[in-house]
Amino acid sequence: MLLLASAGTGVAQETKPGKARVLLLGDSSVIGTFCRDLVPKADHLEDIVRKLLAAEPDLPPVDVLNRGVNGDMVSLLLARPRRYESDVAKQPPLDFIFLRYGLNDIRHVKDFPTEFPASYKKLIARLRADQPKAEIVLETVLPFFSDDRDQTINDQVRAVARAEKLPVLDQYGPYADALKKYGPNTLFWRRLPLKEIPTKVQTLIPPESIRGGVVFIGDNLLDVHLANVPDWFKDRHPNLAGYHVLGTQLAGYIASRLREKAKVGKLPGN
């Protein structure tokens, strides 16, 4: 909330800033389909960010739109004009756009070191044209593959950010730190075909955790029985706890930037 002098009176009056609007774009690690399908009433990434920011009394209200898509890549978003128009171009003016890409791109793009940054720069140019008021922020990917492969992605993300003079929000470091602190599998789903789980353990699986012959467990519920089963810990998609790590970083960045904008009278609506 800002104090401005009323014209002709010199008396300071309170003016309320408008609502800030945030857009999240990226892949399955952004949208969190497993969490939504299996725990639909939980706080998901956008809810975590919004609620953390709402708890800060000096900040304006914030809307957070999550438009992550399973399997998404930068090139796919560019190749689907209807989705781009709906998710980005036709949105009311945005204040922040966060991009987290690379996990699918490195697996499916033929020449990742060349094609990925080229597509990313093309997307950034479109975002700047279609949402000129938005602050565009690139995010590093979370720990997902090997250390070397994750670093390859994040090196490219940082290189694009430098070339485009954009900020980078590091998600990899805080996520890796949380894994060290709480345990290497604490922030990921367990996902395995039911047929690969020993029969004597199958009766312990909550029925709602079995979808299409696949078992989804978002915590350590069955680790005591299945820790030694091959691939029980293979899936690296964030569970609900993982999204709290990601959401905390997003909220912290947005809060800092909103406070910086307030100092110079550039909060949303002013």
Report the percent of the chain where pLDDT is more than 90.
Answer: 91
Per-residue pLDDT at 266: 81
Q: What angle do CA 84, 246, 106 make, to 5 degrees?
A: 55
d(CA 158, CA 167): 9
d(CA 268, CA 257): 12
Structure tokens at 191: 């996902």
Q: pLDDT tens across 42-94, in order?
A: 999 999 999 999 999 999 999 999 999 999 999 999 999 999 999 999 999 99
Per-residue pLDDT at 11: 40
Alpha helices in 80-205 (DSSP H): 81-84, 105-108, 112-130, 147-164, 172-182, 199-202
Higher pLDDT pick, 7 / 71: 71
What average pLDDT does the segment 155-173 reach? Answer: 98
144 phi-psi bin (left φ>0, alpha ψ -120 to 50, beta other): alpha
Whether the Cβ atoms of residue 29 and residue 141 lie closer than 8 Å to each other: yes
Per-residue pLDDT at 12: 38
Report the percent of the chain where pLDDT is more than 70.
Answer: 93
What average pLDDT does the segment 218-241 reach? Answer: 98
The residues spanned by each domain of the chain are 18-184+238-263, 189-235
Q: What angle do CA 250, 55, 45 make, to 5 degrees?
A: 35
Q: For residue 146, is pLDDT > 60?
A: yes
Q: What is 18-184+238-263's CATH number?
A: 3.40.50.1110
